[in-house]
Structure 1
Amino acid sequence: MVVSADLFISTAHKFLCRGRKKKRLPISTCLDVAVQIIAVDLGLKPALLYDSNSASSEQVHQYVNSLFGIGLLTTELQVVSISGSTLVVNSKLMKLHLEELLQSRNLISIDVCPWREEPCITAMDKSTEDMVKDILKFFMDNENKYSTVIGLGEDMCGNWNLCTLFGILLGYPASYWFDQAQSLENCLSMTPLVVNKAWVCSQIGDCRHGTCLYSFSFPEVLWSEIHIFIERWTELLRDKFSQQAVLTELSFSKDTVVLPCVAL
């Protein structure tokens, strides 16, 4: 189904404006948000972290419901609020994703504690395993709840490492980890980071629009240890992509950056 750009733009402008002046999202961002949510609907990623502007979780919920109501989504998606952040979640895919992580223990954590000379790979520790179990139970307890925003209170997620959690929920092949009880800093300053991106195209009206579907990084020094997991993740995404016909031209890019300060 080819959809006009005006439909995506008007829907975003109706539901996702913020501030007294109702500042609107740029046109390209309106299209990107729609394509990202369609990708969640298609099962190409378990969740989207909404960070295009300061729209509330309730506004995002109304926007997602509108896309479903006009037939642009095939399944109902959940909108989840975690510590002030809003995620759009394919609950069925998310449960399968978390169950697979717990069964395989295939989660790659990158320890970036500030006292380390350089980052290193670490196994899933008990606190991370417990966090994954808790968030899985949360999704199972809230199964089929689509009519409202689902919120996690501080009593549940107050001690979680949200950097690690969001990496897991967004389907990244590796997540950064640090001991937040000791420090919120990290050892990534001036460390070469390989930024990996996955791109897709969509036919919107008469134009083909390119959207970044995934963007994540890992320290270049860990390439020899982590590349096999990146390659496996890439092949799984290619396989999922081949099973749908809505988005086209899956491609990957890689760039190395060095930053004086890295916020996680």
Structure 2
Amino acid sequence: MSLIMDLHSAAKHHLKGCKRSSSLRLAANILAVDCGLKPCFLYDSGAEDVLQLQSYLQELHHIGFIQGPLHIVNMAGTILILSVPRVASYLVMLLHTGELHVVDVSATLRNPEVLAQDGLRTIQAQLSDLLTHLTPYKSELPGTISVADIPSPEWNLCTIFGFLLHYPVVYWFDTTRNFENCLSFTPLKHVTVETTCATIGLHKLPLYSFTIPESVYHTVQLFLEAWTESLRRTFSGQHHFRDLNVTMETVILPAVSL
């Protein structure tokens, strides 16, 4: 109970407008990054700047809730909290193998389709640039909470965020035309991963939530299965979370925001 009170107090002190009901969920997501269950968390809980969030994470370390180091990134006004060693390792693997599973959902298409090779080469170059930005923060000491702005000119942030969040399949669309997509009323496999944060007794915490168009599912099914098995192995190597639950259902939505 003392830990829960400390977490509530930290959120109230550093994050203006953070509701008590959401403070534990926020803390649990940060803990999931800290213990390696996911490399990155997209923070959209408020309008805080990175320095306020930095002071919040520093207090989480001070009370012994996280170990760090963690890195806070601002990309075009979107804030992400990430473990640089894990993100960097993942990006190096992607660039080495070239195994990028990207689905083109541009509004000009009738149906989603696997992105052409030219598009993949462009994304590889962007991921290489991102890795260059992150590399100086790979060897920070435990407890360090670093911050940085990363310029992202001409990047499709939907795609870049998908890789940072470690989705097995990510979306791309042609931003030179518009920001719409062709996913409306398209059958999608919706994958959700939930768990219980035993450290603070928080149930049904969403770790991952993403979709894969049924029309391309057969091309990525084996990779998704490997991704799920890797997640289960990582899960078994930590003690903060228990009861991992991976589900998949087919959904058809009138509109999909990316």
Q: TM-score when scaled to structure 2? A: 0.91
Deviations 1:236-258 (A, max 9, x none): 10011111112111111223322
Deviations 1:13-47 (A, max 9, x none): 21111xxxxx33241x2111111111111111111
Paired amino acid for 1:14:
H
Among 153, 161, 169, the residue aligned to 2:164: 169
Among 121, 126, 135, the residue aligned to 1:131: 126
| Equivalence for 1:250 | 244
Q: Report if the CA contact (8 A) 1:4-1:204 is conserved.
A: no
Structure 1 residue 161 displacement after superposition: 0.7
- Mean CA deviation greater in 121-130 or 67-76: 121-130
| Equivalence for 1:151 | 149
Paired amino acid for 2:243:
E
Instruction: Establish whether residue 76 from structure 1 lines up as the match of residue 75 from structure 2.
Output: no
How far apart, in 2, do the equivalents of 1:192 and 1:232 lie? Answer: 23
Instruction: Establish whether residue 15 from structure 1 lines up as the match of residue 14 from structure 2.
Output: yes
Work out the percentage of aligned pairs sharing the same amino acid: 33
| Equivalence for 2:58 | 65
| Equivalence for 2:197 | 202
Task: Kindly report which structure 2 residues correspond to 1:32-43, keeping only aligned pairs within 5 A, or say none.
Answer: 32-43=25-36
Paired amino acid for 1:243:
G
Structure 1 residue 220 displacement after superposition: 2.1
Structure 1 residue 55 displacement after superposition: 2.5
Gaps of 5+ in 2: none
Supply the RMSD in Å over aligned alpha carbons. Answer: 1.8
| Equivalence for 2:257 | 263
Structure 1 residue 174 displacement after superposition: 0.8
Structure 1 residue 182 displacement after superposition: 2.6
How far apart, in 2, do the equivalents of 1:3 and 1:247 lie? Answer: 19
* Distance verdict in 2 for CA 1:135–1:201, change over 3 Å: same
| Equivalence for 1:30 | 23
Q: TM-score when scaled to structure 1? A: 0.89
Deviations 1:56-90 (A, max 9, x none): 22222111111112111122201111000001010
Aligned length: 253
Paired amino acid for 2:238:
Q
